[in-house]
Structure 1
């Protein structure tokens, strides 16, 4: 079997993608709730935390210097290693792909709200600051 440049490039790209997803895992280590608390992990409703991260990503410049896209934001959040998912036998670290899907699911609505609030602030400034001068 001969190897072409394209098939070699595809194989290398696939391997790099797998490395991104598995860099944040401890081989799916299952731990108990006491260990999660010792590691200061979050096990409950993570939706509100992800919304707060997305809002600061869209509104502020906090993430703009280190993160350029939602996938970068997901890898940045996965790097914190604080989100744990309940399994039948304990808790395991939330995977990068799960964080990415949660963020993508929440991003559209959060972006719309952030843009609407920006417009309201801009309208408020133009309305009231122009009267004072």
Structure 2
């Protein structure tokens, strides 16, 4: 496992590139995947430290990918990203233990960076965290 390896999984190329460039500048090793199959292959082969995972993508959805990641690399921290915020569904997924960490799009990269550092520093102490840029006005 490469320390501080972030895998960005999103079908939106712009979001992948933005996050990849930002986290590269922060000193992280970053890989990108545009779909679930590619993401799972990278997780299986390379065991990233942290995965930023879009909830809604064509083909395999975020929750399906998350379940596979937990089987393949249970130590990997997964942060779900979504622009489609449905409080009831999200609350249910959190209560069922499917999602531990999530961010709502659009997000502020600096706030995502802070969350990532917190998660990496406390990786032995899982924390349920919501990052919603509108709450930082």
Return the index of the structure with the highest Cα Rg: 1
TM-score (norm 1): 0.24
Q: Whose relative contact order is higher, 1 or 2, with alpha carbons under 8 Å and at least 6 apart? A: 1
Hey, which of these two has a bigger chunk of helix by percent? Answer: 1
TM-score (norm 2): 0.24
Hey, which of these two has a bigger chunk of strand by percent? Answer: 2
